[in-house]
Structure 1
Amino acid sequence: MQPYQYFMYPFSLLYDGITRLRNRMFDTGVKKSIVFEIPTIVVGNLAIGGTGKTPMVEFFVENFKGSHELACLSRGYGRKTQGFILAGSGATADELGDEPFQIFSKYGHEITVAVGEQRILAIPQIIAENPATELVVLDDAFQHRYVKGDMNVLLTTFQKPFFEDHVLPMGTLRESREGAKRADVVVVTKSPKELEERTKQEYIAKIRPYVKKHCPVLFAGLNYGEPYNVRSHEKADVQKVVLVSGIANNKLLKEWVEAKYELLEVLEYSDHHHYNEKDLRFMLERMEAYRDENPTLLTTEKDAVKLNANKFLPYLQEIPIFAVPVQVKFEEKDRDTLLDMASKVIRNKAYQSEV
């Protein structure tokens, strides 16, 4: 712990007290949680910042879109709009937020994508727009307790697990570690490849005091795919890279790029950054500086959906921008455990609706 964090302790106590009171009100029924007739899977975390929620949401989309009429609902953090919006043709990242727009860009022809701060109101609107909806996956809704999820998936990173973290502002937790009791399954994301069983057991032992008795603890890494051109979706021979990232933590991304390519420079922006023409001009300048190296401008899919905007077309014609797809990667046993849990929730809910 850094010395300055101790000065934040009184403020953390206050924040912790407020969030504990709020949770207590839900636990005792003073505040009401609604259970919907259709199954809901909640993906979330205790901490602010990137724990891999979007890849996890896409994991559920990939595995259930072919068998169920699926909807993905997000708050739409960072968008320039408010209220409920059902994504349709002509939707933009500014309208939906970067992560929901990323999901819509990839899966919008197969699933329903919507955003809305008040999920308790947004779910009925989704059903009204598409009465055939059979499953709703809620992105970043672990603290949105007005909706009682049928399956709560809690994510925590291997690099900064919640059991070593503290409540804001002393740490990055949105609520106390005890909030993990609401989880039906914990997934330790961004785990290293070939993680030793001893290390897994150490993490499980430290997580166990905070979760329900039979709550599974699973491990997942990230799998980076081959970069593709954001305009043409064609792949190319990438060798030397100028990396652009506007994500919460780009450490693993940089390590992957350095291992696979020659990394010339990193242009770092804040999480959910709204790119403007000044940013694109700067990117063009940096690419010009490395002209003799024949560089590729590489970025995340999350950033790519914002950079691939019509207003930036003049720059995109001069800078070929390539996006790196990323997927959550489970060992087969953990993957099967998570999918079996989700399938059971869906079957049970379908049975209840028939009775």
Structure 2
Amino acid sequence: MPLLRWILLPISLAYLLIVWVRNKLYDEGILKSKSFDVPNIVIGNLAIGGTGKSPMTEYLIRLLSSHFRVATLSRGYGRKTSGFRYVEMTSTAIEVGDEPLQFKTKFPKLTVAVSEDRCKGIEILKNSHQVIILDDAYQHRRLKPGYTVLLFDFVSLFSTTITLPTGNFRDNFSASARANLIVITKCPRQLSLEQRQHIKHRIRKHSEAPIFYSAIKYEQLRDRTHLPVEFNLSAYHILLLTGIANPLPLKEYLVDKVISIKQLTFPDHHNFSETDYIKIHSAFQNITGNKIIITTEKDIHRLQDKILSAIPIYYIPVQLDFITDQSTFDQHILNYLSHAQSVNEH
């Protein structure tokens, strides 16, 4: 960890205290949370970015859409607008954020909405939907969730838990006590018994929620129009272009599949500027031989085609892939919805 971040440790301790007090005020009912009759599932994490909330959201969409009228509700991080908005196929990432636009592109018939005020968003959506999936709302304590799925990146559980700005956690680890289910994401496929015991030991200090383990599943390469393409990547040099929290897993996935990788990294949800496009163009031109740009599914929605239209750009979608107990996880979700509907009917 850079020295500068350790210098900021006093600020992290102050931040930790503020977050703890805020959570305590909500837990004790001094600050009020609002609940809703419509079933709602909150997906969240305690660290900043990179835990796989979007793949989990998409997993739940696939699980539930054939049985329920589903809506997703996000803050729309990175957008330049405010207030409640429906996401349309013609929307842009600047208007609604990259992740909501990704959901709408993948599931055109799905209701996708953004609102920084999640309670207001649910109020608008509740009468026309049977379940609302809220992406990244674990810290939105003004909402009392119907059900919560908390995600932890595998690597984060093998390092010291420190809050911002020294560390990457935006909430106390004790906040995991509010979770109904906990999913460890980006796990190695061969997860050892010792690793599981370590994770369980850390989590059980604060939460008795069932723990599930998942990995990243990379799908077939796609072009700008979202159509799958066949590529022999071993014949290409790659410019890996990312604006996500943690691009390392994607690089590790590609490294032995291509001739070489040159990497350009930008901050999570980065809105690319003209200067950025010049930098990208220059980096691509400096690569010799057969070459393409590979980016992420989130980034493809923020890259403007007209500026890089002459450059071959592709992206690799990802899915959340349960290592074990997928059916048990599904049953927990379906049991919640069945119970919620039964309660509402009476």
Q: Using structure 1 for the length normalisation, give the TM-score.
A: 0.92
Given that 1:191 and 1:220 are in contact with CA atoms closer than 8 Å, whether structure 2 keeps it comes out as yes
What letter is aligned with 1:34?
Answer: K
Structure-2 separation of matches of 1:314 and 1:8: 39
The aligned length equals 343
Give the deviation of 1:261 after TM superposition: 2.1
Structure-2 separation of matches of 1:45 and 1:158: 12
Backbone CA RMSD of aligned residues = 1.8
Task: Give the helix-richer structure, 1 or 2.
Answer: 1
Given that 2:189 and 2:323 are in contact with CA atoms closer than 8 Å, whether structure 1 keeps it comes out as no
Q: What fraction of aligned residue pairs are identical, expressed as a percent? A: 34
- Pairwise mapping of residues 1-355 of structure 1 onto structure 2 (< 5 A)? 5-107=5-107, 109-127=108-126, 131-161=127-157, 164-211=160-207, 213=208, 215-231=209-225, 233-239=227-233, 240=236, 241-291=238-288, 293-307=289-303, 309=304, 312-313=305-306, 315-316=308-309, 318-333=310-325, 335-355=326-346
Give the deviation of 1:235 after TM superposition: 0.2
What letter is aligned with 1:344?
Answer: N
Residue 202 and residue 286 in structure 1: after superposition, are their counterparts in 2 closer, same or farther (change >3 A)? same
Given that 1:156 and 1:189 are in contact with CA atoms closer than 8 Å, whether structure 2 keeps it comes out as yes
What letter is aligned with 1:321?
Answer: I
Structure 1 unaligned blocks of 5 or more: none
Given that 1:281 and 1:315 are in contact with CA atoms closer than 8 Å, whether structure 2 keeps it comes out as no
Residue 66 and residue 278 in structure 1: after superposition, are their counterparts in 2 closer, same or farther (change >3 A)? same
Give the deviation of 1:284 after TM superposition: 2.8
Given that 2:151 and 2:182 are in contact with CA atoms closer than 8 Å, whether structure 1 keeps it comes out as yes
Given that 2:212 and 2:324 are in contact with CA atoms closer than 8 Å, whether structure 1 keeps it comes out as no
Q: Using structure 2 for the length normalisation, give the TM-score.
A: 0.94
Given that 2:294 and 2:315 are in contact with CA atoms closer than 8 Å, whether structure 1 keeps it comes out as yes
Structure-2 separation of matches of 1:264 and 1:12: 36
**Cα deviation per residue 1:82-128 (whole Å; 9 max; x = unaligned)?**
11111124211111111111111111x2211011111011111123x
What letter is aligned with 1:271?
Answer: D
Give the deviation of 1:260 after TM superposition: 2.2
Structure-2 separation of matches of 1:186 and 1:35: 21
Give the deviation of 1:2 after TM superposition: 6.3
Give the deviation of 1:332 after TM superposition: 4.1
Residue 234 and residue 326 in structure 1: after superposition, are their counterparts in 2 closer, same or farther (change >3 A)? closer
Give the deviation of 1:161 after TM superposition: 2.2
